[in-house]
Structure 1
Amino acid sequence: MQSYWRLHRYPILFAVACILFYWSFAYNLVRTDFVKLFMLFGALFFLCYKLIQFEKWNFKFLLVVGILFRLVFLIAEPNLSQDIYRFIWDGELIKNGINPYLYTPDQIMEQGTISFPNMKELRDGMTDLNAKHYSNYPPINQILFAFAALLGGGSVLGSTIAMRLIIILADLGVLYFGRKLLQNLNKANHLAFWYFLNPLVIIELTGNLHFEGVMLFFFVWALYMISKNKWLWATPVYAVSIMVKLMPLLFLPIFIKYFGFKKSTAFYTLVLLSCAALLLPFYSSVFIENYSETVGLWFSNFEFNASMYNVVKKIAVTYYEAKPWKLIDSYGSMLKKAMVAIVVLIALLRKNQKLESAITSMVFALACYYFLSSTVHPWYVVFLLGFAIFTDYRFPLVWSFTIILSYYAYSNPDFKENLGLLAIEYILVIGFFIYEMIGSRPKKLYFFKK
């Protein structure tokens, strides 16, 4: 024991410091206190770097501390997001045999025909915007919500703990299959810890209970099976990833060169059929309309932590007297078309015959979407970070730190963003991205190199 302490005393002290900082983050932080939030996050990010630097080949040590960091949050109430209340609400509806896509929380409260434990607490906890819209969470998410609500026994805390355990298990799955995929790509498997120990991942997933990690688990699992030439078995797993969050749909065209036309057609068909099978239990005559309406809001109504959109908005409002509410609607419509064009170009012009190159194309596609989007919540970057570790690009790692600057908006009663801080965030991220694109390594000199 003494010899172990002598060899690992600094990483052990770093880990203890992290536990204390995570405890403070979980139980003694309000999101309006931006200075404390930023200082804690900055310290945790530095300590994460030092832990990996010192112990990157010590799998057991980093695994244990990563689990301990997550368990700190076990009974904490999410303090940076209110989404948990809608998650449990949807889960309680399914428990009671009600399709969550057919009624908004406000409609159910007004009708008064349905009752379940903590109903009023859940409605009061979610935002008014959330309460007046239909659920936008895909079917697998809904099943997980219902499972957590069932295990929670009508208790908000019980359901919260159940969701945390699901998310922690998913992160362990990302680590397991991520290390295997890294080995198949001839990369150091300790790179997976840049995801597993990343403070953004721990805080936004385990802490604030976002399900990007569950989506990533199935996505990385599917990529691993593809790397083993088991693409047929990968199709239902890839479909489950889509049915947790829709984002992996964006990458389907990128597989066309990797598989070839005939095999990719079969891959697409099986993935979409699997998605349809998962949707079937929730299908009704108004499902498509309600779900499309809610998803469409993210393109045409919301704005948070935007980069390019803020530039366009500033120019349009200042010089062309554009109305912001009309601008975002038009911008959202153009964004959909632009992303279709970007993904098709990436799929056709890049050399995606090797899996690493295809994954790199996915990084480019998702980064373009986030750079152009009017809404980029911090937890969105977790997905980008999670599969960027299989490439040579590290700008998502930079983003996983700088995106904490976006939380300054919550320190204001009217949620007003600080455009100066957002400028710092995106200058650093896009600047590092450009540096990696035109950096000293020859294979990054041109965009369309393999």
Structure 2
Amino acid sequence: MNPYLSLPETYIQQGIHPVAETANLYTGMGEMNGSNYTNYPPINQLCFLIAALFASKSIFGSIIVLRLIIILADIGILYFGKKLLERLNLPIKNIFWYALNPFIIIEMTGNLHFEPVMLFFLIWSLYKLHQQKWIWAAVLLACSVSVKLIPLLFLPLFFQWFVDYKLIFSNLKKSTVQRKLGWIAAFAGIKKIIGFYTITLATIIILFLPFYSSEFVNNYANSVGLWFRNFEFNASFYYIFREIGYQFRGYNEIAIIGKITPILTILFLIVITFFRQNKSMIQLITALLFGLCFYYFTATTVHPWYLATPLVLSVFTKYRFPVIWTIVIIFSYQAYANTPWKENLWFVGIEYVILYGFLIFELLKNRQYYKIVK
């Protein structure tokens, strides 16, 4: 069965019950969930398959298996996070900002969000990259993308790790020999970054290949597009822009703003790729952190579990605003307490005022060490 070609509501309509509690599961997850195609990538689907194999048709048994997978992934993050911190000469205890955070326990192990599996491959990839084993790093990064798509945003930011393009320009005024050496080093770096991107993208394609069909491409694109065209939750600047838009148009602002915010994210990523120094691993991870947070700051939807990624990245930097965010994100839970579901924007406002206040404090405090754009 190809999971990308079937809808939960189809089973309900046809009276087919793949598991004993199909009707309860469908009702509990909601009609919107049942009427859209899955957007979980292949390795995430593999985790679901493992749960089905070990738990047969029991939802309770599947929950146990999925929780065990997430706990094992968190142990892997703890292991490779510790090793990477050691290599970066950073305090090993930093990894506990992630591992012992109640938010992680509640949202990941408790609510079965698979960010830990994605982050396990991502941290392992960064560790291998620091060991100069970039081929393995590329494969592991692809595995991370194949659990959740969000690490695709990071691809441009690896450029300076391989290519010192500033060295090329600085050698233009030097001797012929120095210029040649600079060009040789730059060319070697360009070959590596092309290889890194090629291996990463090829591995992703290989993992998706068993499910490929024209219908799959259309279904998957539509499901991913929902996050930009339809969903609104716990947004930051988007809600401000939406209110401004209402004053002029009065309706469907997401149709316009939802198309603009990805473009802004791409432009920001380009800026910090080429105009910020990302040569060391700490500088690179800091760029990953701010690149991702810029996307979340402008996104139409920011679910609580999204914060696992900025939280674990912050462990390797001087910034702790993601820790504060994992505390104030609890204000967003208020929406789920209402029947029907409804957000109170005062709670959203309090969340982001506290977050941005602490972020500005940290930027001012650390400006002598780091600059977002150098």
1:34-433 aligned at under 5 Å gives the runs: 98-112=1-15, 115-260=18-163, 261-317=190-246, 319-323=247-251, 326-433=252-359
Percent identity over paired residues: 47
Counterpart of 1:10 in structure 2 is none
Equivalent pair of 2:276/2:373 in contact (CA under 8 Å): yes
Alpha carbons of 1:306 and 1:163: their partners in 2 closer, same or farther (altered >3 Å)? same
Matches of 2:211 and 2:362, distance apart in 1: 44
Moved more, 257-266 or 184-193: 257-266
1:447 lines up with 2:372 in the alignment: yes
- 1:355-375 CA-partner distances (Å, limit 9, x unpaired): 110110011111101100111
- 1:284-306 CA-partner distances (Å, limit 9, x unpaired): 22111000001100111011101
- 1:249-294 CA-partner distances (Å, limit 9, x unpaired): 0000000111123211110000000001100111122111000001
Aligned-pair CA distance for 1:121:
2.9
Matched pairs, number: 348
Matches of 1:160 and 1:302, distance apart in 2: 26
Matches of 2:245 and 2:59, distance apart in 1: 45
* SS of corresponding position for 2:369: helix
Matches of 1:440 and 1:329, distance apart in 2: 38
Alpha carbons of 1:113 and 1:379: their partners in 2 closer, same or farther (altered >3 Å)? closer
Counterpart of 1:89 in structure 2 is none
Matches of 1:293 and 1:284, distance apart in 2: 14
The code of the aligned residue for 1:351 comes to: Q
Gaps of 5+ in 1: 1-97
Aligned-pair CA distance for 1:322:
2.2
Matches of 1:354 and 1:167, distance apart in 2: 30
Matches of 1:203 and 1:389, distance apart in 2: 19
The code of the aligned residue for 1:447 comes to: I
Equivalent pair of 2:287/2:372 in contact (CA under 8 Å): no
Matches of 2:64 and 2:53, distance apart in 1: 12
Matches of 1:102 and 1:339, distance apart in 2: 31
Matches of 1:398 and 1:306, distance apart in 2: 17
* SS of corresponding position for 1:180: helix
Matches of 1:195 and 1:316, distance apart in 2: 38
> RMSD between aligned alpha carbons?
1.3
Matches of 2:23 and 2:60, distance apart in 1: 15
* SS of corresponding position for 1:438: helix
Matches of 1:101 and 1:209, distance apart in 2: 20
The code of the aligned residue for 2:84 comes to: L
Aligned-pair CA distance for 1:151:
1.0
- 1:201-253 CA-partner distances (Å, limit 9, x unpaired): 00000000000111001100000111111111111111110000001100000
The code of the aligned residue for 1:153 comes to: S
The code of the aligned residue for 1:224 comes to: Y
* SS of corresponding position for 1:442: coil
Aligned-pair CA distance for 1:383:
1.1
Matches of 2:16 and 2:337, distance apart in 1: 39
Equivalent pair of 2:314/2:320 in contact (CA under 8 Å): yes
* SS of corresponding position for 2:365: coil
Tell me the TM-score normalized by structure 1: 0.75
Aligned-pair CA distance for 1:112:
4.4
The code of the aligned residue for 2:342 comes to: K
Matches of 1:386 and 1:295, distance apart in 2: 24
Matches of 1:422 and 1:122, distance apart in 2: 30
